[in-house]
Structure 1
Amino acid sequence: MKKHKKDPLYKSFGYAFQGIYTCISKERNMKIHCCVSLLVVIAGIIFQLSVTEWCICLTLFGLVMALELVNTSIEAVVDLVTEERKPLAKIAKDTAAGAVLIAAIMAAIIGCVIFVPKVMQFLTGL
């Protein structure tokens, strides 16, 4: 059995960053996630989030974006395997998309829990 030489660690990181870049540049939903994350960061700075609130927001950014990357990879593999409409291919694609949707909805709800009181406090202080 022939042993395969592993790529150096820096190349592994390069491949990972290339995957992130590809997803951001080609996937509309990933662009949306990035824009929303940027808006949340701006709002977080304005409303002076606590360390705990920042950690929650950053964790949610990571979760939603990581799931979007996994969803994109599942869609690519399914498309690579078959161009036909097959029930199992549909299940794979739909459930991966559903995972992203659930995470995004929960992130939005948690975002409201964090930001609505701060916005209300700001508005009542005017």
Structure 2
Amino acid sequence: MKKVIRSFGYAFKGISYAYTTQLNFRIHSAATIIAVASGLLLGINASEWLWIALAITLVTITEMLNTAVELLTDLTSPGYNNKAGHVKDISAGCVVIAAVFAVITAAVVFLPKLLLLVNHAA
């Protein structure tokens, strides 16, 4: 049981490292707070919550994996290496793809509700 508890400690240490050292992780965290608050305020339904949760999870996972890949690449190739640069670029590209998915998901879920609010207020 100690091993399991210790492994969770390492995982939270990794999340903390990503949050404290990576500006983009903090930006994504702020976007998560905005998305959750918007979902609560707009009263999205269970299936919409699942899509929002999926988008948040994909962005968070890819951002953390990108951080890990960058650290490992810097460790194994401290000097300039063209292929190491490609590895880091590809990893960052994965985050961009996940973030675009998140923006599209947010638009599909939130825009109709926001338009109803605007039309109702007018």
Q: Which has the higher helix share?
A: 2
Task: Point out the structure with max Rg over C-alpha.
Answer: 1
- Residue deviations 1:9-67 (CA, integer Å, cap 9, x gap): 11111101100011011100000000001001111011001001111111111111011
Separation of aligned partners in 2, 1:109 and 1:61: 12
| Residue of structure 2 in register with 1:117 after alignment | 112
Separation of aligned partners in 2, 1:116 and 1:48: 13
Would you say 1:55 and 2:50 are equivalent positions? yes
**TM-score by structure 1 length?**
0.92
**Once superposed, what is the RMSD of the aligned Cα atoms?**
0.9
Q: Give structure 2 stretches of 5+ with no counterpart.
A: none
| Residue of structure 2 in register with 1:4 after alignment | none
Separation of aligned partners in 1, 2:6 and 2:87: 30
Separation of aligned partners in 2, 1:93 and 1:23: 16
Tell me the percent identity. Answer: 32
Letter in 2 for 1:28: L
Separation of aligned partners in 2, 1:93 and 1:24: 19
Count residues in correspondence: 120
Would you say 1:94 and 2:89 are equivalent positions? yes
Q: Give structure 1 stretches of 5+ with no counterpart.
A: 1-6
**TM-score by structure 2 length?**
0.95
Q: Which has the higher contact order (CA 8 A, sep 6+)?
A: 2
**Ranges of 4+ aligned residues in structure 1 off by more than 2 Å:** none
- Residue deviations 1:82-111 (CA, integer Å, cap 9, x gap): 221111101110000000000101110111
